């Protein structure tokens, strides 16, 4: 009798979705802060990205492209476990250099390769075709003037085919709160899989009326197909949890999103052209699906703890402070390099 009750409870638990806290704890190590800038101009951008292999980051193209439509001179990648989400301790000394290996302005996607990345379990790309309208989703990102690595949640509001008239650019509309700085971040399902790349937001109608709660993410299947076209090998991800019923794909709207604001990732100080709209989409967590390690990715994520905890420290963070700090740090590194080269030159002359 007791054994039967235990087995029944165990089977019920397996079918339950993971809490947002559990999904957040598992996913956040693979979510990065991206800062791109051109030292000789005022062009700069702050956004979010996801580690999808042991050294590759997927994000929006508008996060890393400058006014010329080419990648900016410098892009730094920061990890949550190396940088405090604290308004006083603004160190950010662990920024790793990254280079843009591929990008698509039409799909607003970019692939970065990080120099000397830490070991983290990459986020798996989940199936977009099984996502239904009304499904809960979560987003992790760095909204302007908000906390870094902050969590927002919502539901899928619509499926849109060929968004903005771009063939193959299929997106999700979500009510999840997204703002500038969320661009390029992951939209996660209940299994902790990335089902979208948060890209744009709608904030103002053609007649000036304010729009709220309308945000968009490029569907994971679109991102997967594009990554395959640039010959990146991705890990295979199992569909949904075994005890959860498989949903029927929801109908998609053959409508282009209108009146979307520019990239949700670029900060107010960024001077980028308004070509693509951007923003992150919140998702609600579910138990992470088990992933089979891909040729590029290794190790499975640790088991999520059961006890609840604060998702993100409630300290506001001003973007100008972040940019100023990184600019000063870049100048200091450049000065040290010049001094070292001058000393080496003097030694050479003295021989």
Q: Which residues are catalytic?
A: 56, 108, 183
Q: Which residues contact 6 (CB under 8 A, 6 or more apart)?
A: none
Q: Give the Cα separation of 146 and 319 in Å (integer).
A: 9
Structure tokens at 23: 């999904």
Q: Give the Cα separation of 10 and 4 in Å (integer).
A: 10
SS (H, E, C) 98-151: EEEEEEECCCCEEEEEECCCCCCCCCCECCCCCCCCCCEEEEEECCCCCCCCEE
Distances (CA, A) of 36 to 98, 170, 258: 10, 27, 27
């Amino acid at each position: 009798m007791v054994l039967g009750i235990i087995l029944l409870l165990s089977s019920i638990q397996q079918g339950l979705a993971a809490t947002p806290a559990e999904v957040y704890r598992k996913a956040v190590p693979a979510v990065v802060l991206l800062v791109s800038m051109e030292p000789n101009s005022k062009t700069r951008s702050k956004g979010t990205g996801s580690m999808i292999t042991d050294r590759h980051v997927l994000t929006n193209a508008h996060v890393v492209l400058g006014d010329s439509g080419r990648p900016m001179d410098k892009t730094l990648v920061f990890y949550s476990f190396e940088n405090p989400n604290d308004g006083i301790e603004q160190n950010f000394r662990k920024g790793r250099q990254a280079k843009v290996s591929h990008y698509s302005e039409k799909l607003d996607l970019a692939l970065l390769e990080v120099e000397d990345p830490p070991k983290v379990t990459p986020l798996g790309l989940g199936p977009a075709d099984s996502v239904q309208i009304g499904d809960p989703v979560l987003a992790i990102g760095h909204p302007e003037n908000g906390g870094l690595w902050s969590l927002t949640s919502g539901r899928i509001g619509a499926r849109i085919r060929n968004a903005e008239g771009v063939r193959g650019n299929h997106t999700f509309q979500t009510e999840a709160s997204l703002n500038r700085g969320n661009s390029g971040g992951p939209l996660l399902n209940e299994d902790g899989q990335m089902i979208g790349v948060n890209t744009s937001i709608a904030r103002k109608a053609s007649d000036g009326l304010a729009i709220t709660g309308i945000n968009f993410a490029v569907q994971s299947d679109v991102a997967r197909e594009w990554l395959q076209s640039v010959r990146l090998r991705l890990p295979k991800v199992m569909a949904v949890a075994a005890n959860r019923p498989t949903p029927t794909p929801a109908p998609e709207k053959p409508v282009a999103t209108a009146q979307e604001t520019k990239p949700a990732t670029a900060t107010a100080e960024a001077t980028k052209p308004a070509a693509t709209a951007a923003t992150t989409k919140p998702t609600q967590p579910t138990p992470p699906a088990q992933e089979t390690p891909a040729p590029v990715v290794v190790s499975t994520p640790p088991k999520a703890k059961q006890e609840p905890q604060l998702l993100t420290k409630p300290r506001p963070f001003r973007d100008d402070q972040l940019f100023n700090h990184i600019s000063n740090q870049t100048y200091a590194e450049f000065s040290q390099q010049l001094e070292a080269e001058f000393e080496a030159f003097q030694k050479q002359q003295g021989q």
